[in-house]
Amino acid sequence: MNLNRRPRRLRSCDTIRRMTRETRISPDSLVYPLFVIEGKNIVEPIPSLEGQFRYSPDRVCEEIEACKKAGVRSVLLFGLPAQKDCQGSSAYHPDGVVQQAIRAIKEKYPDFYVITDVCMCEYTDHGHCGILCGQEVDNDKTVEVLAKIALSHAQAGADMVAPSDMMDGRIAEIRKVLDENGFQNLPIMSYSAKYASAFYGPFRDAAGSAPAFGDRKGYQMDPHNRKEAMKECLLDMEEGADILMVKPALSYLDILYETSRAVTLPMAAYSVSGEYAMIKAAGQAGLIDEHLVMCESALSVFRAGANILITYFAKELAQAIQNGEIG
Ligand code: PBG
């Protein structure tokens, strides 16, 4: 055949395939979500998330050590408090579980980067992400509490806060309160386009944060919408967010692609608990190769435009990148 275009020339051996890759990934871009539970001497497996554990603050450094060994340099902390109430007050207690964990990590590993999830659902007895007024989450009252939570994380030594509640105006308020208290240099990663997703199921078991009634559709986004994601991202950027996030990842790559092109901020994607659980389960059933599907899925998120990937597979991915299997 007389072909002057033969795309296969660039696929002929590993060296040329690597040389011409369009997407490069690094362990530096990975964040590992980590659950901390109030108490002492606890390391307990999470039944809904095989391979993941909850740690009490006195033992959380064991997991940080494992992250460092694997090449992961950052965690996103979620807390399981001993006490819950309708106001979620254990979320901003100076000696709350996340605050204790931050101090424990920072004492031993001052350079390890600690991001905290700022939300109320793990701390309220009704499991909603804010202060209730009747059956509804009251936006403005919730925003005040979120700013208190963010400040208490900052005071405990967090490097970055990540509000995941989807209230309106929370980025501006958190920025204001952080600035007023001398934390002008502390970045905010906003869960900007967070959808009301069924993929969060295993997380709610892991964090004990399922809503006691109703659902989160009154504050999280409708999965039918794309333009609305852009609205949320642009608002968060105007309000002073430093990094924006799309969540979940795999079913929302179109959102990631579009928003990453429209904004001048780094984009994070959160590959959530249901995505992890599906790959694990299908792997264990012998239906797919867990490791290869993990690698390919992560790659697709970066190809779509993410700069940062938050994933329960962070350690395995960091190893795969360092072994030259992807990247
Ligand atoms: C808290 C929060 C949730 C997740 C991250 N932060 C749960 C939810 O919104 O119900 C989900 C993460 C995952 O599924 O891995 N609001």
> Per-residue DSSP letters for 67-103?
HHHHT--EEEEEEE-S--BTT-GGGS-TTSHHHHHHH
- What sign does the dihedral 147-314-59-49 (CA atoms) show? positive
Q: CA nearest 157: which of 62, 81, 57, 237?
A: 57
Model pLDDT, residue 2: 96
Report the C-alpha gap between 142 and 210 in whole angstroms: 18
Stated pTM of the model = 0.97
**CB under 6 Å to ligand 1: residues?**
117, 119, 121, 129, 164, 200, 203-204, 209, 216, 272-273
Locate the DSSP E strands across the chain.
30-37, 43-45, 53-55, 74-80, 113-118, 132-133, 136-137, 160-163, 189-194, 243-247, 267-271, 308-311
CA distance readout (Å), 177 to 63, 156, 219, 252:
31, 15, 22, 32
What are the two backbone dihedrals, phi and then psi, of residue 128, each rounded to the nearest 5 degrees?
A: -85, 165
Query: Which atom of ligand 1 lies at the shortest distance from residue 271's CA?
Result: 15
Model pLDDT, residue 126: 95
| Residue keyed to tokens 């928003």 | 259
Burial (CB count within 10 angstroms: exposed 0-12, middle 13-18, buried 19+), residue 106: middle
Report the C-alpha gap between 233 and 230 in whole angstroms: 5
- Ligand 1 center to residue 32 CA distance, Å? 14
* Domains of the chain: residue spans and CATH: 23-322 (3.20.20.70)
What lies within 8 Å, CB to CB, of 100 at 6+ separation is: 36, 38, 57, 156
Model pLDDT, residue 218: 95
- Ligand 1 center to residue 271 CA distance, Å? 11
CA Rg value for the chain: 20
Model pLDDT, residue 154: 98
Contact 95, 52 (CB under 8 A): no
With the most atoms of ligand 1 within 8 angstroms of its CB, the residue from 209, 247, 309 to mutate is: 209
- Ligand 1 center to residue 200 CA distance, Å? 6
Active site residues: 194, 247
With the most atoms of ligand 1 within 8 angstroms of its CB, the residue from 203, 271, 279 to mutate is: 203
- Ligand 1 center to residue 221 CA distance, Å? 13
- Ligand 1 center to residue 203 CA distance, Å? 6
Model pLDDT, residue 183: 98
- Ligand 1 center to residue 233 CA distance, Å? 18
Q: CA nearest 131: which of 72, 88, 74?
A: 88
Query: Which atom of ligand 1 lies at the shortest distance from residue 165's CA?
Result: 16
With the most atoms of ligand 1 within 8 angstroms of its CB, the residue from 46, 119, 311, 313 to mutate is: 119
Contact 295, 321 (CB under 8 A): no
Residue located nearest, by CA, to atom 14 of ligand 1? 200
Q: Residue 218 corresponds to which tokens in the numbers above? A: 């009154």
Model pLDDT, residue 227: 98
What string of pLDDT tens digits covers the 327 residues of the chain? Answer: 999 999 999 999 999 999 999 999 999 999 999 999 999 999 999 999 999 999 999 999 999 999 999 999 999 999 999 999 999 999 999 999 999 999 999 999 999 999 999 999 999 999 999 999 999 999 999 999 999 999 999 999 999 999 999 999 999 999 999 999 999 999 999 999 999 999 999 999 899 999 999 999 999 999 999 999 999 999 999 999 999 999 999 999 999 999 999 999 999 999 999 999 999 999 999 999 999 999 999 999 999 999 999 999 999 999 999 999 998
Cβ of 287: how many Cβ atoms within 10 Å? 10
Query: Which atom of ligand 1 lies at the shortest distance from residue 210's CA?
Result: 10
Residue located nearest, by CA, to atom 11 of ligand 1? 200
Model pLDDT, residue 201: 96
